[in-house]
Amino acid sequence: MIPIIQSSMKPLEDMDLPMMMERLLRLAVPNHLLWLIFFYWFFHSSLNFIAELLQFGDREFYRDWWNSETITYFWQNWNIPVHKWCLRHFYKPLLKSGVSKWLGQSAVFLASAFFHEVRCSALSRVKPD
């Protein structure tokens, strides 16, 4: 991957769209492989290991999000702890206060996007040693 990334700098500087697309497509397969390895290591192995050590009863961190046919099914199944937290502490109180379902879903989505952005911007300010 590193040689492909290094050879991508010139097309990016020259704004050579066909070469940029070719380099991105060449990075797609190794990128997906690394993502799947990380997913298995973190969500399946590490979290279950920690759950075993802490004798945590609920080990359902994700469901079959890869079989999603709708975006709603995907968001409900790819990160169960975050989904349950948002449902319990944000979505249901909004509904009880008289907000419509659509507005409640939109508010939860926007709040999630905001917190992801804050987290990412905070991580980008951390300088490595």
pLDDT in tens, 17-42: 787 777 778 888 888 888 889 888 88
d(CA 95, CA 97): 5
6 and 35, same domain (yes or no): yes
Instruction: Supply the DSSP string of 43-68, one letter for each residue.
Output: IIIIHHHHHHHTT-S-------GGG-
68 and 120, same domain (yes or no): yes
Catalytic residues: 116
Q: Which domain holds residue 99?
A: 62-129
Q: What is the pLDDT of residue 97?
A: 95
82 and 124, same domain (yes or no): yes
56 and 67, same domain (yes or no): no
Domain count, the chain: 2
69 and 110, same domain (yes or no): yes
Query: In the chain, pLDDT over 70 holds for what percent of residues?
Result: 84
Give residue-wise pLDDT tens across range 77-102: 877 777 888 889 989 999 999 999 99
74 and 120, same domain (yes or no): yes
User: Counting Cβ atoms within 10 Å, is residue 51 exposed (0-12), middle (13-18) or buried (19+)?
Assistant: middle
Q: What is the pLDDT of residue 57?
A: 67
20 and 67, same domain (yes or no): no
68 and 91, same domain (yes or no): yes
The token pair at 4 is 């492909």
pTM score above 0.75: no
Chosen domain end from 61, 77, 101: 61
**Which one is predicted more confidently, 128 or 20?**
20
